[in-house]
Amino acid sequence: TAEIKRRFLAHFEANGHAVVPSAPLPAIDDPNLLFVNAGMVQFVPYFLGQRTPPFARAVSVQKCIRTPDIDEVGKTSRHGTFFQMNGNFSFGDYFKEGAIPLAWELVTTPVERGGFGLDPERIWVTVYLDDDEAAAIWRRTGVPEERIVRRGKKDNFWSMGIPGPAGPCSELYYDRGPQYGRAGGPAVDEDRYLEFWNLVFMQYDIADVRSKEEFRVVGELPARNIDTGMGLERMAAILQGVDNLYEIDEVRPILDRAAELTGRRYGVGSGRVAGESHPDDVRLRVVADHVRTALMLIGDGVTPSNEGRGYVLRRIMRRAIRAVRLLGWQDPVLPELLPVARDCMAPSYPELASEFDRISSYAYAEEEAFLSTLRAGTTILDAAIAQARAAGGGRLSGEKAFQLHDTYGFPIDLTLEIAAEHGLRVDEEGFRRLMADQRARARADARARKTGHADLSAY
Ligand code: SER
């Protein structure tokens, strides 16, 4: 993985790009964003014309957090809450005619000549519906018509999901072969055809973003720009010949240590096709992914709390700890796993090693606190169970389950499990209704904050 980063930077540096370090994970310039979620985030003011870039071309390896798909982690081969994005950027310099050949050259140049050595025959590309220009450039570059697929806004129009720069995009996919799924290209099976690089042709300013397909184009950006993002972990999975991004060299050791501690064997009976994994495998992947994410977040100064960034971190840590308990390990686990994650990541991020005392003290304290939450929640739950039984009902109320979840941070799956052990059912429908009400309140709040992109350049 380190070598992939190095080659990416070297390729673009040799082509006139300034090497720019990753921005820290907490997004500080944009009130609409908790975390940096793409390589382009630190360059938004350049795209919008609010600031003049000191370079016309840049390249970076950006640390990113994305959690909307957190429930997919471990179940598919390609979702991670923390990942790194290799990106090259043009600020009013080259456009499609430059970005496409630059990407193609890097991925198809043989390994011994500094490229990634992918077989050109296994690469598919997508372009936005009416983007004949990009399709023509791909054909000229050497991709045959039958592997150029046109897709709509949902897949081939990229934005940050909030007001700001956006544009049609063109993605590169690698065919991992029939053992991963059905033939027919990325529109048919995104596990077999793994997206690894997204080239965005940044040319619009958008607002009123309601979904990937519903937004308002406010106008053209002052210049036509390029923003690309190659999923580093995905490329590593392809080049290391492993099934998924939890098995690459930067993540697998965490997974192995968790398997060793819990006495589970990873990969037994798991299918390669999404949805066929053994539940233990999914949990081990969740642990590996989330422990690494926690390390990176605390490393960048986020601390666990009940709101905003701190809550995202807390939720990720609790999911990891919970997954380990379900695998049969009840003691504090972070002292076992966090040092492994540090050793995986410190070669690229040396500050993780030099600041490990600070990072680990937050992490271990949080785990201790959660374990006492679990103990306290168990006491309250036991009392509620006794009450429900005394009342003769075979059921625990939705309000109680919600209160345990909301006030004590006690996970619903644990409530269900313990109630079942006592022969009680839980009013899950009532619980879900209360959860939905709470989510609707949160969404209304988020909508209220997404009405426009504030120009913060003066600050
Ligand atoms: N911003 C685009 C993405 O995140 C390309 O870098 O996919």
Q: Which atom of ligand 1 is nearest to the CA of 200?
A: 5
> What pLDDT, in 10s, does the model give residues 347-393?
999 999 999 999 999 999 999 999 998 888 888 999 999 998 888 87
* Token pair for 218: 């406010």
Is the beta carbon of 38 within 6 A of some atom in ligand 1?
yes
β-strands 425-426, 123-128 pairing: unpaired
For the chain, residues with pLDDT lower than 50 are 271, 273-274
Tell me phi and psi for residue 19, to 5 degrees: -80, 120
Helical packing angle, 232-240 and 2-14, nearest 10°: 110
Q: CA–CA distance from 240 to each of 69, 421, 428, 453 (Å)? A: 24, 44, 43, 40
Integer distance in angstroms from the first to the last C-alpha of the chain?
37
Is the beta carbon of 41 within 6 A of some atom in ligand 1?
no
* Spatial distance between the Cα atoms of 49 and 47, rounded to a whole number of angstroms: 5
Q: What is the pLDDT of residue 453?
A: 67
Is the beta carbon of 39 within 6 A of some atom in ligand 1?
yes
Q: Which atom of ligand 1 is nearest to the CA of 160?
A: 1
Is the beta carbon of 168 within 6 A of some atom in ligand 1?
no
Q: What is the pLDDT of residue 11?
A: 98
Q: What is the pLDDT of residue 273?
A: 46
* Token pair for 454: 């504030």
Q: What is the pLDDT of residue 414?
A: 77
Tell me phi and psi for residue 397, to 5 degrees: -70, 155
Instruction: Number of helices (H) and strands (E) in the chain: give both, helices first.
Output: 15, 11
Closest C-alpha to 41, from 134, 212, 158: 158
Q: What angle do CA 217, 221, 226 make, to 5 degrees?
A: 110
Q: Which atom of ligand 1 is nearest to the CA of 85?
A: 6
- Tokens 């793994």: give the residue: 194
Ligand 1 pocket mutation pick from 156, 169, 206 by most atoms within 8 angstroms of CB: 169
Rg (CA), the chain: 23
> What pLDDT, in 10s, does the model give residues 248-267?
999 999 999 999 999 999 99
Q: Which atom of ligand 1 is nearest to the CA of 199?
A: 5
> Are the CB atoms for 440 and 432 separated by under 8 Å?
no
Q: How far is the CA of 248 from the centre of ligand 1 (A)?
A: 22
> Are the CB atoms for 35 and 64 separated by under 8 Å?
yes
* Token pair for 28: 């500080």
Biggest distance spanned by C-alpha atoms of the chain: 77
